[in-house]
Structure 1
Amino acid sequence: MGYPENVLARDEHVVLHRHPHWKRLLGPALVLLVATALAAFGAGWVNQTDWDVNAKRIIFGVIAALWLVLVGWLSIWPFLTWWTTHFVITDRRVMFRHGLLTRSGIDIPLARINSVEFKHGVLDRMLRTGTLIIESASQDPLEFYDIPRVEQVHSLLYHEVFDTLDSEESPS
Protein backbone atom coordinates (compact mmCIF):
# COMPACT_ATOMS: atom_id res chain seq x y z
CA MET A 1 0.00 0.00 0.00
CA GLY A 2 1.55 3.28 -1.11
CA TYR A 3 1.31 6.47 0.87
CA PRO A 4 -1.46 8.83 -0.32
CA GLU A 5 -0.14 11.16 -2.98
CA ASN A 6 -2.39 14.05 -1.89
CA VAL A 7 -0.21 14.84 1.15
CA LEU A 8 2.93 15.30 -0.94
CA ALA A 9 4.12 18.62 -2.29
CA ARG A 10 4.62 19.14 -6.00
CA ASP A 11 7.66 17.21 -7.26
CA GLU A 12 8.05 15.48 -3.87
CA HIS A 13 8.75 11.75 -4.10
CA VAL A 14 8.40 8.97 -1.54
CA VAL A 15 11.74 7.31 -0.88
CA LEU A 16 10.54 4.91 1.84
CA HIS A 17 7.18 3.99 3.32
CA ARG A 18 6.89 1.64 6.30
CA HIS A 19 4.30 0.47 8.79
CA PRO A 20 5.54 -0.58 12.23
CA HIS A 21 7.14 -4.01 12.42
CA TRP A 22 4.80 -7.02 12.36
CA LYS A 23 5.92 -7.97 15.88
CA ARG A 24 3.29 -5.51 17.12
CA LEU A 25 0.66 -7.90 15.78
CA LEU A 26 1.83 -11.00 17.68
CA GLY A 27 -0.16 -10.21 20.85
CA PRO A 28 -3.38 -9.40 18.96
CA ALA A 29 -3.03 -12.60 16.92
CA LEU A 30 -2.53 -14.64 20.10
CA VAL A 31 -5.60 -13.01 21.66
CA LEU A 32 -7.62 -13.89 18.54
CA LEU A 33 -6.56 -17.54 18.71
CA VAL A 34 -7.10 -17.94 22.46
CA ALA A 35 -10.45 -16.09 22.48
CA THR A 36 -11.69 -18.17 19.55
CA ALA A 37 -10.58 -21.42 21.17
CA LEU A 38 -12.24 -20.51 24.47
CA ALA A 39 -15.46 -19.43 22.73
CA ALA A 40 -15.53 -22.66 20.72
CA PHE A 41 -14.89 -24.74 23.83
CA GLY A 42 -17.61 -22.89 25.75
CA ALA A 43 -20.12 -23.21 22.91
CA GLY A 44 -19.33 -26.92 22.55
CA TRP A 45 -19.81 -27.48 26.27
CA VAL A 46 -23.12 -25.58 26.30
CA ASN A 47 -24.29 -27.57 23.28
CA GLN A 48 -23.71 -30.85 25.17
CA THR A 49 -25.92 -29.86 28.11
CA ASP A 50 -29.58 -30.82 28.52
CA TRP A 51 -30.67 -27.20 28.96
CA ASP A 52 -33.68 -25.60 27.35
CA VAL A 53 -33.18 -24.46 23.72
CA ASN A 54 -33.90 -20.80 24.62
CA ALA A 55 -31.36 -20.89 27.47
CA LYS A 56 -28.76 -22.30 25.10
CA ARG A 57 -29.46 -19.52 22.57
CA ILE A 58 -29.02 -16.87 25.24
CA ILE A 59 -25.74 -18.38 26.41
CA PHE A 60 -24.51 -18.70 22.80
CA GLY A 61 -25.37 -15.02 22.34
CA VAL A 62 -23.42 -14.08 25.47
CA ILE A 63 -20.42 -16.14 24.32
CA ALA A 64 -20.56 -14.53 20.88
CA ALA A 65 -20.85 -11.03 22.37
CA LEU A 66 -17.90 -11.62 24.71
CA TRP A 67 -15.86 -13.02 21.83
CA LEU A 68 -16.74 -10.04 19.63
CA VAL A 69 -15.81 -7.50 22.31
CA LEU A 70 -12.50 -9.23 23.14
CA VAL A 71 -11.49 -9.76 19.54
CA GLY A 72 -12.60 -6.30 18.47
CA TRP A 73 -10.84 -4.52 21.31
CA LEU A 74 -7.68 -6.62 21.61
CA SER A 75 -7.16 -7.86 18.01
CA ILE A 76 -8.97 -5.82 15.39
CA TRP A 77 -8.33 -2.39 16.95
CA PRO A 78 -4.54 -2.97 17.30
CA PHE A 79 -4.42 -4.26 13.70
CA LEU A 80 -6.23 -1.17 12.40
CA THR A 81 -3.95 1.06 14.48
CA TRP A 82 -0.92 -0.70 12.97
CA TRP A 83 -2.37 -0.38 9.47
CA THR A 84 -2.95 3.37 9.84
CA THR A 85 0.52 4.11 11.24
CA HIS A 86 2.91 5.34 8.56
CA PHE A 87 6.60 6.20 8.67
CA VAL A 88 7.47 7.91 5.40
CA ILE A 89 10.70 9.40 4.09
CA THR A 90 10.46 11.60 1.03
CA ASP A 91 13.15 13.51 -0.79
CA ARG A 92 12.21 16.56 1.34
CA ARG A 93 10.98 15.42 4.75
CA VAL A 94 10.28 12.67 7.25
CA MET A 95 6.58 12.13 7.98
CA PHE A 96 5.01 10.12 10.76
CA ARG A 97 1.23 9.67 10.85
CA HIS A 98 -0.78 7.52 13.23
CA GLY A 99 -4.28 7.09 14.55
CA LEU A 100 -7.52 5.58 13.40
CA LEU A 101 -10.28 7.91 14.54
CA THR A 102 -8.10 10.79 15.66
CA ARG A 103 -5.13 11.24 13.34
CA SER A 104 -1.93 12.97 14.37
CA GLY A 105 1.45 13.32 12.84
CA ILE A 106 4.68 15.18 12.54
CA ASP A 107 6.77 16.34 9.59
CA ILE A 108 10.50 16.98 9.89
CA PRO A 109 12.21 18.74 6.96
CA LEU A 110 15.39 16.92 6.01
CA ALA A 111 17.36 20.18 6.13
CA ARG A 112 16.46 20.56 9.85
CA ILE A 113 17.75 17.14 10.91
CA ASN A 114 20.93 17.28 12.97
CA SER A 115 21.49 13.62 13.72
CA VAL A 116 20.01 10.22 13.08
CA GLU A 117 20.53 7.28 15.45
CA PHE A 118 19.12 3.81 15.90
CA LYS A 119 19.05 1.29 18.70
CA HIS A 120 17.87 -2.26 19.02
CA GLY A 121 18.26 -5.08 21.50
CA VAL A 122 18.95 -8.73 20.82
CA LEU A 123 15.33 -9.65 20.03
CA ASP A 124 14.95 -6.59 17.81
CA ARG A 125 18.15 -7.52 15.97
CA MET A 126 16.83 -11.03 15.33
CA LEU A 127 13.56 -9.58 14.01
CA ARG A 128 15.40 -6.85 12.06
CA THR A 129 13.62 -3.97 13.75
CA GLY A 130 14.44 -1.21 16.20
CA THR A 131 14.01 2.37 17.29
CA LEU A 132 15.01 5.27 15.03
CA ILE A 133 15.98 8.47 16.83
CA ILE A 134 15.91 11.74 14.90
CA GLU A 135 17.24 14.94 16.40
CA SER A 136 16.17 18.10 14.63
CA ALA A 137 17.34 21.67 15.06
CA SER A 138 14.48 22.91 17.22
CA GLN A 139 13.14 19.86 19.05
CA ASP A 140 14.07 17.18 21.52
CA PRO A 141 15.02 13.91 19.84
CA LEU A 142 12.03 12.02 18.43
CA GLU A 143 11.94 8.26 18.82
CA PHE A 144 10.09 6.09 16.31
CA TYR A 145 9.62 2.56 17.64
CA ASP A 146 9.45 -0.75 15.77
CA ILE A 147 10.80 0.52 12.45
CA PRO A 148 11.41 -2.50 10.19
CA ARG A 149 15.02 -2.84 8.98
CA VAL A 150 16.01 0.10 11.13
CA GLU A 151 19.68 0.00 10.10
CA GLN A 152 18.80 0.35 6.41
CA VAL A 153 16.33 3.13 7.19
CA HIS A 154 18.99 4.88 9.27
CA SER A 155 21.48 4.69 6.43
CA LEU A 156 18.94 5.80 3.83
CA LEU A 157 17.80 8.74 5.95
CA TYR A 158 21.40 9.77 6.62
CA HIS A 159 22.12 9.79 2.88
CA GLU A 160 18.93 11.74 2.12
CA VAL A 161 19.86 14.37 4.74
CA PHE A 162 23.40 14.55 3.37
CA ASP A 163 22.12 14.92 -0.21
CA THR A 164 19.68 17.65 0.89
CA LEU A 165 22.41 19.60 2.65
CA ASP A 166 24.70 19.27 -0.36
CA SER A 167 22.03 20.54 -2.77
CA GLU A 168 21.32 23.56 -0.53
CA GLU A 169 24.99 24.50 -0.16
CA SER A 170 26.04 24.07 -3.78
CA PRO A 171 25.28 26.95 -6.17
CA SER A 172 22.69 26.32 -8.87
Structure 2
Amino acid sequence: MDVIILASQPFRITAVTRKTRAELFKDAAVGDILRFSLAMEGPGRCSGGGSYACVVKTENLTQGTSTHNTLNRISERLRGFDIIPHVPAQVIPFPNPVAETIESFARLARSGEITGVVMAALGPGRLAEDTYSAITGVNYTERRALISTLEDAATVAMLDATDDY
Protein backbone atom coordinates (compact mmCIF):
# COMPACT_ATOMS: atom_id res chain seq x y z
CA MET A 1 0.00 0.00 0.00
CA ASP A 2 1.21 3.50 -0.83
CA VAL A 3 1.80 5.93 2.02
CA ILE A 4 -1.19 8.17 2.66
CA ILE A 5 -0.35 11.87 2.98
CA LEU A 6 -2.50 14.06 5.21
CA ALA A 7 -2.23 17.67 4.01
CA SER A 8 -3.60 20.86 5.49
CA GLN A 9 -5.36 23.57 3.59
CA PRO A 10 -3.04 26.44 2.66
CA PHE A 11 -2.46 29.18 5.24
CA ARG A 12 -1.41 32.79 4.56
CA ILE A 13 1.01 34.64 6.84
CA THR A 14 -0.60 37.91 7.94
CA ALA A 15 2.09 39.04 10.41
CA VAL A 16 5.58 38.13 11.54
CA THR A 17 5.50 38.65 15.30
CA ARG A 18 8.90 37.21 16.18
CA LYS A 19 12.04 36.65 14.13
CA THR A 20 13.65 33.21 13.96
CA ARG A 21 16.72 31.59 12.49
CA ALA A 22 14.90 28.32 11.82
CA GLU A 23 15.14 26.89 8.32
CA LEU A 24 12.26 28.00 6.03
CA PHE A 25 10.73 30.20 8.75
CA LYS A 26 13.62 32.70 8.81
CA ASP A 27 12.77 33.81 5.26
CA ALA A 28 8.98 33.62 5.59
CA ALA A 29 7.22 36.94 4.97
CA VAL A 30 3.75 38.45 5.19
CA GLY A 31 1.70 37.14 2.28
CA ASP A 32 3.56 33.82 1.97
CA ILE A 33 1.40 30.72 1.68
CA LEU A 34 2.24 27.70 3.89
CA ARG A 35 0.99 24.11 3.76
CA PHE A 36 1.61 21.33 6.26
CA SER A 37 1.58 17.60 5.54
CA LEU A 38 2.17 14.37 7.42
CA ALA A 39 2.79 10.87 6.07
CA MET A 40 0.46 8.31 7.65
CA GLU A 41 3.02 5.75 8.68
CA GLY A 42 4.16 4.39 12.01
CA PRO A 43 6.73 6.38 13.95
CA GLY A 44 10.32 5.12 13.91
CA ARG A 45 12.05 3.44 16.83
CA CYS A 46 15.14 4.65 18.60
CA SER A 47 17.75 2.42 20.28
CA GLY A 48 16.03 2.73 23.66
CA GLY A 49 12.79 1.30 22.26
CA GLY A 50 10.80 4.57 22.37
CA SER A 51 8.99 6.11 19.43
CA TYR A 52 10.24 9.04 17.44
CA ALA A 53 7.89 11.98 17.16
CA CYS A 54 5.77 12.36 14.04
CA VAL A 55 7.42 14.53 11.42
CA VAL A 56 5.50 17.26 9.61
CA LYS A 57 6.57 18.69 6.28
CA THR A 58 6.13 22.46 6.04
CA GLU A 59 6.08 23.96 2.56
CA ASN A 60 6.33 27.64 1.74
CA LEU A 61 4.38 27.53 -1.52
CA THR A 62 5.22 31.15 -2.31
CA GLN A 63 8.99 30.69 -2.12
CA GLY A 64 9.10 27.03 -3.23
CA THR A 65 10.92 25.85 -0.09
CA SER A 66 10.18 23.12 2.45
CA THR A 67 11.48 21.68 5.72
CA HIS A 68 10.61 18.87 8.14
CA ASN A 69 9.98 19.32 11.88
CA THR A 70 8.22 17.47 14.69
CA LEU A 71 4.70 18.54 15.65
CA ASN A 72 6.05 20.18 18.81
CA ARG A 73 8.73 22.08 16.89
CA ILE A 74 6.19 23.29 14.29
CA SER A 75 3.93 24.72 17.00
CA GLU A 76 6.95 26.53 18.50
CA ARG A 77 7.90 27.97 15.10
CA LEU A 78 4.36 29.14 14.35
CA ARG A 79 4.24 31.22 17.54
CA GLY A 80 6.28 33.79 15.63
CA PHE A 81 3.58 34.24 12.98
CA ASP A 82 -0.07 35.12 12.59
CA ILE A 83 -1.63 32.86 9.97
CA ILE A 84 -5.12 32.52 8.55
CA PRO A 85 -6.63 30.03 6.11
CA HIS A 86 -5.81 31.06 2.56
CA VAL A 87 -8.84 31.16 0.31
CA PRO A 88 -7.79 31.70 -3.30
CA ALA A 89 -9.65 34.45 -5.11
CA GLN A 90 -12.58 33.32 -7.20
CA VAL A 91 -11.76 33.72 -10.87
CA ILE A 92 -14.56 35.55 -12.67
CA PRO A 93 -14.83 34.59 -16.32
CA PHE A 94 -13.47 37.11 -18.78
CA PRO A 95 -14.84 39.31 -20.20
CA ASN A 96 -16.51 41.23 -17.43
CA PRO A 97 -16.83 45.03 -17.05
CA VAL A 98 -14.12 45.39 -14.38
CA ALA A 99 -11.58 43.25 -16.24
CA GLU A 100 -12.38 45.01 -19.53
CA THR A 101 -11.73 48.43 -17.94
CA ILE A 102 -8.41 47.31 -16.45
CA GLU A 103 -7.38 45.62 -19.71
CA SER A 104 -8.13 48.82 -21.67
CA PHE A 105 -5.70 50.70 -19.42
CA ALA A 106 -3.16 47.87 -19.76
CA ARG A 107 -3.32 48.16 -23.57
CA LEU A 108 -2.69 51.91 -23.33
CA ALA A 109 0.26 51.33 -20.98
CA ARG A 110 1.76 48.64 -23.25
CA SER A 111 1.62 51.03 -26.19
CA GLY A 112 3.23 53.82 -24.15
CA GLU A 113 0.16 56.06 -24.29
CA ILE A 114 -0.07 56.24 -20.49
CA THR A 115 2.90 56.27 -18.13
CA GLY A 116 1.24 56.60 -14.74
CA VAL A 117 -1.94 55.50 -13.02
CA VAL A 118 -3.98 56.02 -9.86
CA MET A 119 -6.43 53.19 -9.21
CA ALA A 120 -8.97 52.41 -6.51
CA ALA A 121 -11.15 49.31 -6.35
CA LEU A 122 -13.88 47.74 -4.23
CA GLY A 123 -13.79 44.12 -3.06
CA PRO A 124 -16.78 41.99 -2.10
CA GLY A 125 -17.01 43.65 1.35
CA ARG A 126 -17.47 47.00 -0.41
CA LEU A 127 -16.51 50.12 1.59
CA ALA A 128 -16.91 48.34 4.91
CA GLU A 129 -13.67 46.39 4.58
CA ASP A 130 -12.43 45.67 1.08
CA THR A 131 -10.88 48.68 -0.64
CA TYR A 132 -7.73 48.52 -2.71
CA SER A 133 -5.57 51.22 -4.24
CA ALA A 134 -2.46 51.46 -6.38
CA ILE A 135 -0.40 54.39 -7.56
CA THR A 136 2.53 54.08 -9.93
CA GLY A 137 4.43 56.29 -12.33
CA VAL A 138 3.09 59.60 -11.00
CA ASN A 139 4.54 62.24 -8.68
CA TYR A 140 2.56 64.01 -5.95
CA THR A 141 1.34 66.87 -8.18
CA GLU A 142 0.21 64.49 -10.92
CA ARG A 143 -1.45 62.26 -8.32
CA ARG A 144 -3.47 65.21 -6.96
CA ALA A 145 -4.49 66.22 -10.51
CA LEU A 146 -5.69 62.69 -11.31
CA ILE A 147 -7.60 62.40 -8.03
CA SER A 148 -9.20 65.82 -8.66
CA THR A 149 -10.28 64.61 -12.11
CA LEU A 150 -11.91 61.55 -10.49
CA GLU A 151 -13.63 63.74 -7.89
CA ASP A 152 -14.94 66.06 -10.62
CA ALA A 153 -16.27 63.10 -12.62
CA ALA A 154 -17.96 61.71 -9.49
CA THR A 155 -19.61 65.07 -8.79
CA VAL A 156 -20.92 65.32 -12.35
CA ALA A 157 -22.23 61.73 -12.20
CA MET A 158 -23.95 62.46 -8.89
CA LEU A 159 -25.60 65.62 -10.29
CA ASP A 160 -26.71 63.73 -13.40
CA ALA A 161 -28.23 61.01 -11.22
CA THR A 162 -30.18 63.49 -9.08
CA ASP A 163 -31.57 65.19 -12.20
CA ASP A 164 -33.43 61.97 -13.00
CA TYR A 165 -35.72 62.32 -9.98
Same fold (TM over 0.5): no
TM-score (norm 1): 0.26
Which of the pair is proportionally richer in helix? 1
